[in-house]
Structure 1
Amino acid sequence: MIMMPLGPQLMRIFEISPQQFGFLVSAYTFAAGISSFLGVFWVDLFDRKKVLFFSFAGLIIATLACALSPTYSILMLARILTGIFGGIPGAVVFSIIGDVFPENRRGTASGYVATSFSLASVLGVPFGLFLASLTNWHAPFYFLCLIGLVILFMIFKFVPNIKSHLKHKSIDSKIYDSFLHIIKNSNLRIALLFIASLVLGQFTIVPFISPYMSANIGFTDAELTFIYLLGGAATIISSPYIGKLADKFGKPKIFTVMGFLSIIPIVAVTNLPKVSIPIALIFTTMVFVFFSGRFVPATAYITSVVSAKHRGAFMSFNFAFMQITSGVASLLAGMIITKSPDGTLLHYPYVGLIAVAFTFIAMFMIKKVKQVNEPEQEIQIKKTTSSEEVILQD
């Protein structure tokens, strides 16, 4: 997430084009996508906590490599390494939601998880940009490493061992069973197409919000922090509420409502003329709120389209699909957007039209995805000598 607000600085310091910046953003997502895809073959064979811990530890090391990068090329390699380790934790987190929470509470749980993104926007990104404005662009990555160490300790200390999915795996089960199940299941294929359209409707425009606001509207590097501060603060309030609405009225219905509402800020931001900073911030904040409003019911719904024994593998596959698709979206936007002689960005409105088109496709696709009905599970947390272990009983 830190790459997008740093876009104006990186484009200026490394003297790179919007297309090259798009490569820098997509390098992470493509690597994360490949990593998540490979996770399909093994993620369901281990305790969720261990997978989360070791993949996150690798992510911290890779982030340190970003902080130490002296050139564009080395930063590109470091971002690829970051993606390799970053492709697993997100899938594992949503697998845990699917394992621990019953279907009628997953929207609420996903809403609270989404607030972590908002907290990062409110606290992490503005502070990181503030550090970058005081020192240089390397500082936010050092800051992320420090925060990552705190989170790693919290994973070790507070996340319980989750092994309930392992009861579905026989000793001689083949690691590609889940992959074959995903490929052969038409409902899961439709779910993946739904996620792809959702991501293309968002990540075509998100990476270039900061560069556009800087080059075309006149935001300073310091003022860019308000995009993430206000947007994150708004979604801290909205995400849990939207999650509860999704549980109450149905996830497809709430997703569709949020999809229609999100078209307003998509069109506004990508066509924004030179306006005052407060007016621009109103629309960027709306982007945060309604994009989060789409993501919460979508991810909660996706956890319910696959049985527990294949959930970890499918969520890895899904996360891989999301990352690769977001990489494609960034590349596509980078190929369309150009820089004029005076430094302003051109053709952003075309990118907005593409985002609107994929938003409509996503609203159509979610109606085609079917949930899997599983027996309600009784959730127990049993104390062990070293940590807690989650046990799910039918």
Structure 2
Amino acid sequence: MTATLTPRAERFFLLTLAGIQFSHVLDFMIMMPLGPILMQAFGIGTHEFGLLVASYSFSAAVSGILAATFIDLFERKRVLLACFALFGLATLACGLAPGFATLLIARGLAGVFGGIMGALIHTMIGDAIPFSRRARASGVVSSAFSLSTIAGVPLSLWLANHLGWRAPFALIAVLSVLFIVVGMRFLPELRHHMDEEKRGHLLSATFNVLRDANHLRALLFSALIIFSGFTIIPYITVYAVNNVGIAQADIPIVYLVGGTATFISARLIGHWADRYGKIEVYRRIALLAMLPLLAVTHAGTLPLGIWLIFSTTFFVLVSGRMIPAMAIIASSAQPKLRGTFMSLNGTVQSLAMGLATTLAGFLTGLDGSGKIVGYPLVGYVAVAANLLAIWFVARIVMHGRTPPAAADR
């Protein structure tokens, strides 16, 4: 069952979710391009930087488990905005952190609330948008990733270069306040899931999710996709600067070009997935994504123009997989358990992010000249996980198809 929204209300609903997604995606993404700056500021290596990135993911995983015990008991809008407010405070704490240890703790707190928000956003899409338009809706919300790379990351890096690394976190805190106000105005109340029969105990919904074999297949699929991307993503900027020879001042250009391309491609991919079949479109994009997975991890010294081709293709295809994938994952859940399922999915994705980042941190290191070694091996690990996800996706059954598309069987 989905909520009924007018076309205008649906448009504002999705744009508001995209704005909220923009804030918390930017908070997570900014750590990667800030890598060289933070490593220099704190005198840390790839292992410590990987821990700084992974702390967000591991905290999000824990919060996802906790959220699964209560998230379907409450109205969606109130939970989302409450978590968003706490997320804004945690992000502000990141900007005020006096040292590495306190920044690590603050990143963990941001992950606690960011993890719940990410799960809730996709839960609300599943609750409010019919299956036939769900991939396009995911594409609209996923455009937040593109906008954060087009505008958010370059602006944040400009602020970091001129005002210090703390400035981007202050910017995100301000954006959080703005989008909370917008959310109070344009997000509808979603409470139809609360009309289902009452659960027997606090963990009954979690157990019901985990007893469903289809749910478990979808969760494993989700983990494989995230793992294949996040072995590479946290270190891509450090590798570009240290190994490829891209100037730190040119990193905003990399994100600007890549973000512009994904802003265009995200909407197209969502449309194609709804028209030609979510599984079929996912498979094709994921197969193509293996090329940039290998290219960016094996590149030597390159001019900026060639690196832009590699990195932009990486942005478009690696992130593009997630549009049909999230529609598949959200549609695999039983509607009455969607909030619990998506919270557990957030936990699984966050664990996959953290494990991928940590593993890549151990597989790589810095040589005497400051270059990263071991990154090609990370690329092979990413490709292996990607191939497993491609093989596994056909085993997931999606709810809400009327009639089922042949490509989605």
| Alignment counterpart, residue 78 of structure 1, candidates 101, 106, 110 | 106
Partner of 1:183: 210
Deviations 1:241-293 (A, max 9, x none): 10111111111111100011101111110000101011101110111100121
| Alignment counterpart, residue 191 of structure 2, candidates 143, 147, 163 | 163
Deviations 1:26-79 (A, max 9, x none): 000000111011111101111100010000000000001000012111100111
| Alignment counterpart, residue 72 of structure 2, candidates 44, 49, 61 | 44
Partner of 2:221: 194
Cα separation, 2, equivalents of 1:211 and 1:272: 13
TM superposition shift of 1:335: 0.4
Deviations 1:77-110 (A, max 9, x none): 1111111111111111101111111111101000
Partner of 1:120: 148
TM superposition shift of 1:9: 0.5
Matched, 1:63 2:91: yes
Cα separation, 1, equivalents of 2:112 and 2:295: 35
Cα separation, 2, equivalents of 1:54 and 1:335: 36
Partner of 2:262: 235
Cα separation, 1, equivalents of 2:258 and 2:402: 38
Cα separation, 1, equivalents of 2:111 and 2:208: 26
TM superposition shift of 1:222: 2.0
Aligned partner letter, 2:146 = S
| Alignment counterpart, residue 166 of structure 2, candidates 138, 143, 162 | 138
Cα separation, 1, equivalents of 2:105 and 2:330: 32
Cα separation, 1, equivalents of 2:182 and 2:86: 16
Aligned partner letter, 2:111 = G
| Alignment counterpart, residue 289 of structure 1, candidates 316, 323, 343 | 316
Q: Which runs of 5+ in 1 are unaligned?
A: 377-394
Partner of 1:343: 370
Partner of 1:385: none
Matched, 1:279 2:311: no
TM superposition shift of 1:181: 1.1
Cα separation, 2, equivalents of 1:302 and 1:169: 24
Deviations 1:131-158 (A, max 9, x none): 1111211111111111111111111111
Identical counterparts, % of pairs: 38
Aligned partner letter, 2:75 = D
Helix, strand or coil at the partner of 2:246: coil
Partner of 1:220: 247
Cα separation, 2, equivalents of 1:360 and 1:375: 29
Cα separation, 1, equivalents of 2:201 and 2:402: 26
Aligned partner letter, 1:2 = I
Partner of 1:356: 383
Partner of 1:11: 39
Answer yes or no: is the 8 Å Cα contact 1:39–1:313 preserved in 2.
Answer: yes
Answer yes or no: is the 8 Å Cα contact 2:132–2:401 preserved in 1.
Answer: no
Cα separation, 2, equivalents of 1:13 and 1:220: 17
Aligned partner letter, 2:306 = I
Aligned partner letter, 1:137 = W
Cα separation, 2, equivalents of 1:96 and 1:375: 20
Matched, 1:245 2:272: yes
The structure richer in helix per residue is 2
TM superposition shift of 1:174: 2.9
TM superposition shift of 1:375: 7.8
Shift >3 Å, 4+ stretches: 373-376
TM-score, normalised relative to structure 1: 0.93
| Aligned residue pairs, count | 375
Aligned partner letter, 2:134 = R
TM superposition shift of 1:372: 2.4
After TM superposition, the structure 1 stretch with the greater mean CA deviation from structure 2, 68-77 or 216-225, is: 216-225
Aligned partner letter, 1:259 = A
Answer yes or no: is the 8 Å Cα contact 1:129–1:221 preserved in 2.
Answer: no
Output aligned runs, 1:22-33, within 5 Å. Answer: 22-33=50-61
Matched, 1:369 2:375: no
Answer yes or no: is the 8 Å Cα contact 1:333–1:351 preserved in 2.
Answer: yes
TM superposition shift of 1:374: 7.2
Answer yes or no: is the 8 Å Cα contact 1:45–1:169 preserved in 2.
Answer: no
TM superposition shift of 1:13: 1.1
Partner of 1:108: 136
Aligned partner letter, 1:144 = I
Partner of 2:119: 91
Answer yes or no: is the 8 Å Cα contact 1:133–1:221 preserved in 2.
Answer: no
Deviations 1:282-337 (A, max 9, x none): 11011110012100000011111112110000000001110111000000000011
